[in-house]
Chains A and B, each alone.
Chain A
Amino acid sequence: MSDSTAIVNGAPAAPGNAHGHEEHPAYLRHHFENVDQQADAANFAMWLFLLTEVMFFGGLFTAYLIYRNWYYPAFVAASHQLDIFWGTLNTLLLISSSFTMAMGVWCAETRKKSGLVLCLVLTFILGIGFLGIKSIEYKEKIEKHHVPGFHYSLSSFLNPDSDEAARKAGDKPLALDMARHTEVYFSLYFAMTGMHALHMIIGIAILGYMIFRARAGAYTSGHVTFVENFGLYWHFVDIIWIFLFPLLYLISRHAN
């Protein structure tokens, strides 16, 4: 399953490295037979970890699925409160960051130190940009009292004309009972995007550490497992957003 990683890690392409010296590179931990096995194990572990992450978000997606079916009109009206411009921009930022991350992995594999540092820095900046835009969006929700809890306000849904976003989307007033269920939408919105943002923050922190280490040449001497595995994590966080964006922002945008 891991021919590619084996080539990358097992047979460092460094010229002039005689065969005998490849037996025990410094990064080979004592309990592995060889670097192939080590890289293989680390990779497999990362995929398993991502599987647990899928299950973690799976609980939220299940809740979303159920309530969206029950309270569809409320979910549509509530989704109109999100700004598609910011959402799209954020999607673009994240996809670009996945691209720079993938380039970073490639740079590490081909031992291009300055290229790797540049890619990691770009990924870092794009990640920060995503969080910045997310915080603009959160601020707007707080100002409009759309954060579930004590001060939650229904006025945008009971009286759409009072709300610019609702008016633009042409929302009809919801009955009180249905309007109340917009709070469930925003509960899920904050839980899902909040958990996603938390993963971004953790990822950005690790990126900072990696930039620091990459400048010292840590990942460009043949041992790229860490960069590769982080790349997997970063793409995973990206994919979660690729699901969140249509589910939260684009509920009413469909043909017919």
Chain B
Amino acid sequence: MSATIVSLPDRSTARVPKVNYLTKENGLLSWLLTGDHKRIAILYLISLSFFFFIGGALAGLIRLELLTPQTDLMATDTYNKVFTMHGVIMIFFFLVPSVPATLGNFLIPLMIGAKDLALPKINLLSWYLYIAGGLLAIYTMATGGVDTGWTFTTPLSTHYVNTNVLTTGLAVFIAGFSSIFTGLNFIVTIHKMRCPGMTWFRMPLFVWAHYAASILMVLGTPVVAITIVLVALERTIGIGVFDPTKGGDPLLFQHLFWFYSHPAVYIMILPGMGVISETISTFSRKRVFGYTAVAFSSVAIAVFGFFVWAHHMFIMGISNYAVLVFSLLTMLVAVPSAIKIFNWTFTLYKGSITFETPMLYTFGFMGLFTIGGLTGVFLGTSGTDIHLTETYFIVAHFHFVMVGGMLMAFLAGIHFWWPKMTGRMYPEKISQLAAVVTFIGFNFTFFPQFILGTLGMPRRYASYPPEFQVLNVFSTAGATILGVGYLLPVLYLTWSLKYGAVAGDNPWQATGLEWQTQSPPLTENFLATPIMDHEAYDYEWLEKQEEKEVASVG
């Protein structure tokens, strides 16, 4: 592990630039009223981490309850509320905005050579909407919570439960608009704000992935918004769109809900895939293999993602023909993801691989996402789905994709761009340790759940037959390790803000435009509008660039 590509400026003379986006203005108001995409990204990072740890604490409670077969820690209805709020907070207030709102916000203008996103005020508005939605969700939790599961399934949510469905629905509705505005902003920016020479096929794959995710945000989120409105109207004044006693059909709710919520998993994972493309290229010193294929596979995921929603409904009473078609389409959507995984693997082939922390998280992502994706095939096949759905198998499956995939990618990205965001390096050894701890803890937590699922343990129950206890104890123990793995970065990243080594402009010797400006960047990002005169991931161009610099200085 001694090989490294890190090149830091001379420690005796290195300084973080005095003028940058962090120091330009001071005071709380300069943050709360900012239009700077980088500052908004930091606001998002702080608030997202807050919600992540609330959601994580709820997950801890769930695992603690499941340590024993009896319901001893909390009453069963409390358990229902805890897992519902865990899902709501993690999905709508962490996973959906995670990479786009922090890294995407920070990096897209830098990567395409723009001064800011096209609509800075809308960008700030989306943060305020996110906060409003988040606070409402917390208020909901404090005043009794909601126990429908994060899916708000009718007629349970409209007729039977007595909990805060309306306020939670409103919270999700508001957060949805935050997501719509983020996506809209990205699409406009990518279309209209690219610097001279930045053609579509010179853009980093990170930008392509965000473009695809933005399409999903813009087209999918409004549908769940109207669905929530209909649920609210049904619950309050009693309209009959989903109510079978009035001729409505609860299955229509499922269709409308999953029409958003299946694409939503691609909203969550695509930006993560964008991060992986960047890290894997940088730490293998090679252009991403099959750049065009990886770029188009993002768009293909966005398109196919809209035609597979009914695979969430195989046992809900849709017709056998629909099951057949949606099963087939579900297999198809796996293809672009596989294209990405194979292309990343070929990028590694004959690369000069080094194992800095972002790369460790990247390897974690590739392994866990592949397992998550392949178990998705079990669930997309209608025959096995009938056995496995609503068991812990499905819980393990989406946690492998979302936590093992997305969260690993998020952490890879945070570490990778931390020097750019703060001007300082994170401490390498302890963060490598954290990456390994996370990986181990993750597998301990969620792998046993695959076995539990195939044995038939249903999800969403506070108690279970005693023969399942051993595996549940494994899972709870793993969750503890995982918790340590997530706490560590908070500690050492905060530490590094003051004590980290000064990073310099380009500590990884990476090729993206964001690395060709100072760290942390100026409020205007670049001194002059950059001109893109080379392909993406062109390491030879970078070398020549450095030679030029040496020549001109010497």
The chain A residues found within 8 Å of chain B, CB to CB, are: 29-31, 33, 37, 40-42, 44-45, 48-49, 51-53, 55-60, 62-63, 66-67, 70-71, 74, 147-150, 180-181, 183-184, 186-188, 190-191, 195
Contacts and interface: CB of A to CB of B under 8 A. Distances in A.
B180 A52 contact: yes
Give me the 7 closest cross-chain CB pairs, A-B, nearest first. Answer: A149-B238, A187-B239, A31-B116, A56-B222, A31-B115, A59-B226, A181-B247
Q: Could you say which of A40, A45, A66 has the most chain B C-beta atoms within 10 Å of its C-beta?
A: A45
Given A45-B188, A48-B187, A56 B247 contact: no
Interface residues of B, number: 44
B248 interface: yes
Given A55-B222, A59-B256, A180 B247 contact: yes
B192 A188 contact: no
B386 interface: no
Contacts of B259: 59
Nearest to B214: A48
B455 interface: no
A183 B227 contact: no
B188 A41 contact: yes
Given A41-B193, A52-B184, A66-B249, A57 B226 contact: yes
A148 B247 contact: no
A55 B118 contact: no
A147 B240 CA distance: 11
Contacts of B188: 41, 44-45, 48
Contacts of B118: 31, 41-42, 45
Contacts of B249: 66
Given A41-B118, A183-B247, A184-B248, A148 B238 contact: yes
A148 B226 contact: no
Given A59-B223, A62-B256, 17 more contacts: A31-B115, A31-B116, A31-B193, A45-B122, A45-B188, A52-B219, A52-B221, A56-B226, A59-B230, A59-B256, A149-B238, A150-B238, A180-B246, A181-B246, A187-B240, A195-B226, A195-B229
For the residues of B in contact with A, the DSSP-based class is helix
Interface string B227-242: 1011001000111110
B114 interface: yes
Contacts of B117: 31
Q: Could you say which of A44, A63, A181 has the most chain B C-beta atoms within 10 Å of its C-beta?
A: A63
Q: Could you say which of A44, A53, A183, A187 has the most chain B C-beta atoms within 10 Å of its C-beta?
A: A187
Given A183-B240, A184-B241, A66 B252 contact: yes
Interface string B340-383: 00000000000000000000000000000000000000000000
Contacts of A29: 120
Contacts of A45: 118-119, 122, 184-185, 188
